[in-house]
Amino acid sequence: MRCLSCHKLNFATFCKTCQSNLLQPSVTQRTCGDLEVYSFFKYQNIEDLLLTKHTPQGFKLYKALAKLSFKPFIKKFMKEDNRVIYVVGIDENVKSGYAHVALLTHEMKMKNVKVEHARLMAQNKINYSGKTLQFRLENPRDFVYRGKKGVEVILVDDIVTTGTTLMEASKVLKQNRVDVLFALTLAGVEP
Ligand SMILES: [Zn+2]
């Protein structure tokens, strides 16, 4: 098989060179409303890779990137914490054979971290890509939450662009007596 990034022959999803040069997560933070959003990669840096999202390689890509970012993050986070935390992925519906966000949240499973899939689903499936902030605000996702109430939650999405989706999701969770700690995304588009 070949490295997904440089296409050199290699036994793992990414070769060592790409892992240490290109794919070192560096967390950036932004505030969307009253929600802190952390992104592991700059969207522009992994844009070409993310374009494979809807191909069979996209499955491997998401898994490999999640192992490099979400997994070490939650391990470190839980070291300083004894609480039970829930992880809620945004709109884990199955496209091209799998749910992208579910691959990310799956890597966060550990002691005291409960990952339950497909608990926060959008009723409005309209495509936001390339759309303006105004359009996004006028066409909300209309999330329905079917997860546990009265718990502390980390929200997860794959890409944050304007933050409208995350803010809407956070609002719906709060209406369900969920305490949203912060949001994690794989990649952030620079505003
Ligand atoms: Zn490589």
Condensed to tens digits (0 to 9), the pLDDT of residues 143-191 reads 999 999 999 999 999 999 999 999 999 999 999 999 999 999 999 998 7
* Predicted pLDDT of residue 41: 94
Read off the pLDDT of residues 65-106 as tens digits, 9 standing for 90 and up. Answer: 999 999 999 999 999 778 999 999 998 877 766 788 999 999
For residue 14, report the distance from its CA to the centre of ligand 1, in Å: 5
For residue 16, report the distance from its CA to the centre of ligand 1, in Å: 7
For residue 18, report the distance from its CA to the centre of ligand 1, in Å: 4
Task: Indicate the domain borders of the chain.
Answer: 25-188
For residue 71, report the distance from its CA to the centre of ligand 1, in Å: 21
Query: Alpha-carbon distance 51 to 47, whole Å?
Result: 6
For residue 39, report the distance from its CA to the centre of ligand 1, in Å: 22
State the average pLDDT for the chain. Answer: 90
Task: Indicate if the pLDDT at residue 59 is higher than 90.
Answer: no
Top CATH class, 25-188: alpha beta
144: Cα within 13 Å, side-chain hemisphere: 7
Query: Alpha-carbon distance 139 to 135, whole Å?
Result: 6
For residue 21, report the distance from its CA to the centre of ligand 1, in Å: 9
The Cα angle at residue 87 between residues 81 and 90, in degrees rounded to 5: 150
Nearest CA to 179 out of 161, 158, 152, 156 is that of 152
* Predicted pLDDT of residue 37: 97
- The most confident of the ranges 7-16, 43-52, 138-147, 173-182 is 173-182
